[in-house]
C-alpha cells in the first residue's frame, strides 16, 4: 500500500541501529519520510506493503541478506520499479557488478559520508534537467603516472602503484641509470629515461612523482608541460605514509580474515567431532574417532591412543602404521600436569629420527589416557593448534567417560541378571535340598515314630516293662529328629546371628567347618565393642560363608585365615587361604569377566552396602580377599 503522506518515503534497511538513526535524521531534515527495517524479512515485508519511493538497502542482514531481498523486489512487478541504493561494506568489484546486473541505482560503500548519501538520494528522487550519468565500473578514469628518482623509496612506490588497476605507469627516470627501480621497470617493459625532464614530454602524463633523490626544477617542468601535477616533499611523504598505513591495515585485515577462517574451520571440526563422538556409546569407536580428528588436524603420519589400565598405559587404537612408542614418565607427567599437548623429540620415545606429539586425555583430574602422534620431520604447532587439540581432548574425555559408564552399566546389568539367575537356581537347589532332608530324615523318623507309638500301645497293654523300654527308644529318636530340624534351620539362617551376634555365630561356624572339612581356620577380630546393623552382620557372615565354601570346593587349601576389624568408620574383612590361587575363569559357572558366580555374589553384597571387594593371588601361592564396608 502506497504511503499516504505527500512527502517522498524512503525505506532504510540495515541491522545497525546507529547507522539507521543517522540516515533517518539526515533524510527527515531534508524533508523525506522514513520507514525503518532492521532485517531482510522486515525490509521485504515493508517494501511490499508500504511501497516506498526509494529503498536504501544493506547487504549483510539477518534472516534474509540484501541480495535475496533485491532479487525478490526485482522479480515482483509491484516492487520492480522502486529505485534501490545499496549501502554496504562489501565494496569489491564483483559485488558492485552483481548490483548493477540486478538493477541497483547506485552503490555506496561504508564508511560513508551522510551528505554524500543525501546527494545520491536527492539525485535519484529529484531529477534535474541535467543529470550527471553514473560512470560504469569498467569506465573508471585511469591516472597516468611518471616516477622520478630511485632508491628504496622509489622501488617501494613503483611496486605499490603496480598493484592498482586505476594507475598506469608511463615511465621511470633516474640519473644514475643503475638503480634497482630501473631494473624492475625494464623487466616490466616500462620506459626508462636518464633525463628526468624527458618524463614531462610523455603524452598524456597526469602526475609526476618525485621521490627526493633527484630534485626537479618546478619552473622548467611547467615550461615543458604546464598542466602536469607534481607530488613531492611533505605532500609526497604524507601520501606515502597514508598509503603505507592503508597497506598495513589491509594486511592486518587479511590476517584477521585468515585467523577467522581458521577458527571457523576449527569450530566446524569440533562440532563434527563432538557430534560423531556423541552419537555412539562404543568405547573403541570413540577412540578411533578421536585419533582420526586429532591426527587430521596436525597432519600426523601415524598415531596411537593409550588408555590407563591399573596405573599402566595400554595401546587401544591405532592410526596409520605406528610403532608402539610411548614417552618417558617425566614427559608424560609434564603433559598431564599442564593438561596441554606436548611436542618432544623422538629421542625421548626411543625413536631418534622422529618427533612425537603427546595429547593428555584427562577428566576431573583423572588420567584416562593420552594420544601419541608420530612425525618424520619436526613440526611447528601454533598456539591455535595446541588449543584445538586440548579442546578436542576435553571433548574426548567426556565421551570416553560416558562410554565407560555405559559399558559399566551394561556390565552391571549382566551381573545382576547372572546373580538373579544364581539366586533363583540357589533357591531351587535349597528347596530341593530341604525337601530331600525332610523326606530322608524327619519324614522317615516321624513315620517310624508313629509305628513305634502303636507298638508301645500294644506292649503297655501286655507288659509295662517292655513298653517303657520302647518309649525310651522313641524318646531318643525324637531328640535326634529335633537336632536334625535345628541343623536345617541353622543352615537356612543361624538363629545365633540374631540372638548372640556375628562373632559368636562365626566362631561356631568355624568349629563345625574345621570338623567337617579338615581345614584349619584361624580367626582374629576386634569388633566386640562395635554394634553392627543386622544387614551388615548378615552380609559379613554370608561373604565369609561363601568364601569358605569356595576354599573347600576349589582351592585344596589346608589353612584359612580370617581377620575382622573396624576403624575410621569402616569394617575391614580379610580372608586368606594357602590353596592353589584364583578360581578357574573358564568354569561353566562364571560371569562375563570370568569370575565365579559365588565371587560375583560377594561383590554384590559388599556393593549393596557401599563397600568394595578385591580378590588377588598371593605370591608364593594362595588367594586373598579384602572387603571394606562402611559401618
State residue 628's pLDDT score: 93
State pLDDT tens for residues 550-599: 888 888 899 999 999 988 888 999 999 998 877 654 344 444 444 455 78
State residue 592's pLDDT score: 42
What DSSP assignment string belongs to 341-368?
Answer: -EEEEGGGGT-TT-EEEEEEEEETTEEE
State residue 587's pLDDT score: 44
- 343 contact partners, CB below 8 Å, separation of at least 6: 355, 356, 357, 358, 379, 381
User: Predicted confidence band at 293 (pLDDT cuts at 50, 70, 90)?
Assistant: confident
Most confident of 79-83, 149-153, 230-234, 292-296: 79-83
37 or 214, which is more confident: 37
Mean pLDDT is lowest, of 79-83, 87-91, 281-285, 410-414, for 87-91
State residue 28's pLDDT score: 84
Residues 496, 500, 503, CA angle at the centre, nearest 5°? 95
H or E, element range at 425:
helix 383-437
The Cα–Cα gap between 207 and 199 comes to: 10
CATH number of 141-231: 3.40.50.720
Please compute the mean of the pLDDT values over residues 204-216 and round it to a whole number. 79
Length in residues, the chain: 631
The residue ranges of DSSP E strands in 265-403, in sequence order, are 302-309, 312-319, 342-345, 355-363, 366-375
Kindly tell me if the per-residue pLDDT of 106 is higher than 60.
yes
State pLDDT tens for residues 312-338: 777 778 887 766 555 556 666 767 776
Domains of the chain by residue range? 9-136, 141-231, 280-492, 494-630
Percent of the chain with pLDDT over 70: 71
State residue 623's pLDDT score: 92
- Say if domain 9-136 classifies as CATH 2.40.40.20: no
State residue 568's pLDDT score: 82
CATH number of 280-492: 3.30.450.40
Is there a common fold for 9-136 and 141-231?
Answer: yes
State residue 627's pLDDT score: 94
Q: Are 317 and 284 in contact (CB under 8 A)?
A: yes
Cell 586429532 belongs to 294
SS (H, E, C) 467-520: HHHHHHHHHHHHHHHHHHHHHHHHHHCCHHHHHCCHHHHHHHHHHHHHHHHCCE
State pLDDT tens for residues 358-401: 788 877 777 788 787 777 666 666 666 677 777 777 777 777 77
- The number of C-alpha atoms within 13 Å of 368 and in the hemisphere containing its C-beta is 24
Kindly tell me if the per-residue pLDDT of 4 is higher than 50.
no
State residue 371's pLDDT score: 80
State residue 279's pLDDT score: 61
H or E, element range at 393:
helix 383-437
524 or 593, which is more confident: 524
State residue 516's pLDDT score: 87
Helix/strand/coil for 163: coil
State residue 132's pLDDT score: 40
Mean of pLDDT over the chain: 76
Domain 494-630 class?
alpha beta
The CA distances from residue 351 to 324, 347, 574, in Å, are 10, 5, 46
The Cα–Cα gap between 298 and 235 comes to: 50
Amino acid at each position: 500500500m502506497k504511503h499516504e503522506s505527500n512527502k517522498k518515503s524512503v525505506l532504510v534497511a540495515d541491522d545497525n541501529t546507529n547507522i539507521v538513526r543517522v540516515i533517518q535524521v539526515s533524510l527527515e531534515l531534508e524533508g523525506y519520510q522514513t520507514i525503518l527495517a532492521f532485517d531482510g524479512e522486515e525490509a521485504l515485508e515493508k517494501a511490499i506493503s508500504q511501497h516506498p519511493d526509494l529503498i536504501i538497502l544493506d547487504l549483510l542482514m539477518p534472516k534474509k541478506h540484501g541480495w535475496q531481498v533485491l532479487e525478490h523486489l526485482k522479480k515482483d512487478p509491484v516492487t520492480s520499479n522502486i529505485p534501490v541504493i545499496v549501502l554496504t561494506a562489501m565494496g569489491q568489484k564483483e559485488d558492485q557488478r552483481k548490483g548493477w546486473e540486478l538493477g541497483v541505482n547506485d552503490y555506496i560503500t561504508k564508511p560513508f559520508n551522510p551528505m554524500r548519501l543525501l546527494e545520491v538520494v536527492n539525485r535519484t528522487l529529484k531529477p534535474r534537467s541535467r543529470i550527471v550519468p553514473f560512470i560504469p565500473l569498467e569506465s573508471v578514469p585511469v591516472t597516468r603516472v611518471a616516477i622520478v628518482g630511485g632508491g628504496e623509496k622509489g622501488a617501494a612506490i613503483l611496486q605499490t602503484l603496480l598493484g592498482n588497476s586505476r594507475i598506469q605507469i608511463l615511465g621511470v627516470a633516474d640519473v644514475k641509470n643503475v638503480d634497482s627501480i630501473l631494473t624492475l621497470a625494464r623487466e616490466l617493459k616500462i620506459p626508462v629515461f636518464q633525463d628526468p625532464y624527458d618524463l614531462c614530454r610523455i603524452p598524456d602524463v597526469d602526475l609526476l612523482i618525485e621521490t627526493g633523490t633527484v630534485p626537479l626544477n618546478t619552473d622548467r617542468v611547467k615550461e615543458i608541460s604546464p598542466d602536469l601535477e607534481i607530488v613531492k616533499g611533505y605532500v609526497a611523504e604524507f601520501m606515502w605514509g597514508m598509503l603505507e598505513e592503508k597497506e598495513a591495515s589491509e594486511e592486518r585485515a587479511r590476517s584477521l580474515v585468515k585467523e577467522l577462517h581458521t577458527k571457523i574451520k576449527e569450530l566446524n571440526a569440533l562440532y563434527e567431532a563432538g557430534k560423531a563422538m556423541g552419537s555412539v556409546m562404543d568405547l573403541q569407536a570413540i577412540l578411533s574417532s578421536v585419533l582420526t580428528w586429532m591426527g587430521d588436524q596436525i597432519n600426523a603420519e601415524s598415531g596411537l591412543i593409550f588408555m590407563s589400565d591399573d596405573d599402566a598405559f595400554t595401546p587401544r587404537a591405532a592410526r596409520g602404521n605406528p610403532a608402539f612408542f610411548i614417552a618417558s614418565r617425566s614427559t608424560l607427567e609434564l603433559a598431564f600436569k599442564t593438561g596441554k599437548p606436548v611436542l618432544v623429540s623422538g629421542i625421548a620415545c626411543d625413536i631418534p629420527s622422529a618427533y612425537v606429539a603427546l595429547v593428555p586425555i584427562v577428566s576431573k583430574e583423572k588420567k584416562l589416557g593420552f594420544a601419541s602422534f608420530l612425525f618424520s620431520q619436526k613440526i611447528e604447532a601454533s598456539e591455535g593448534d595446541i588449543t584445538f587439540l586440548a579442546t578436542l581432548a576435553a571433548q574426548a574425555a567426556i565421551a570416553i567417560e560416558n562410554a565407560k559408564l555405559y559399558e559399566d552399566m551394561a556390565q552391571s546389568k549382566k551381573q545382576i541378571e547372572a546373580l538373579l539367575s544364581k539366586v533363583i537356581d540357589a533357591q531351587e537347589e535349597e528347596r530341593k535340598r530341604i525337601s530331600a532332608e525332610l523326606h530322608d530324615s524327619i519324614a522317615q523318623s516321624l513315620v517310624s515314630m508313629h509305628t513305634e507309638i502303636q507298638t508301645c500301645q500294644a506292649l503297655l497293654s501286655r507288659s509295662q516293662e517292655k513298653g517303657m523300654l520302647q518309649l525310651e527308644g522313641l524318646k531318643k529318636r525324637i531328640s535326634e529328629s529335633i537336632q536334625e530340624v535345628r541343623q536345617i534351620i541353622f543352615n537356612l539362617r543361624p538363629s545365633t546371628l540374631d540372638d548372640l551376634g556375628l562373632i559368636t555365630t562365626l566362631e561356631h561356624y568355624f568349629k563345625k567347618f574345621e570338623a567337617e572339612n579338615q581345614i584349619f581356620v584361624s580367626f582374629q577380630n576386634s569388633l566386640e565393642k562395635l554394634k553392627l546393623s543386622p544387614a551388615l552382620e548378615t552380609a559379613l557372615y554370608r561373604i565369609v560363608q561363601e568364601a569358605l565354601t569356595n576354599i573347600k570346593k576349589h582351592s585344596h587349601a589346608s589353612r584359612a585365615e580370617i581377620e575382622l576389624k573396624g576403624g575410621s568408620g569402616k569394617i575391614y574383612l580379610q580372608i586368606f587361604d594357602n590353596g592353589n590361587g584364583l578360581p578357574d575363569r573358564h568354569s561353566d559357572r562364571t560371569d562375563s569377566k570370568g569370575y565365579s558366580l559365588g565371587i560375583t555374589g560377594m561383590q554384590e553384597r559388599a556393593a549393596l552396602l557401599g563397600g568394595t571387594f578385591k580378590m588377588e593371588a598371593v605370591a608364593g601361592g594362595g588367594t586373598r580377599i579384602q572387603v571394606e564396608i562402611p559401618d
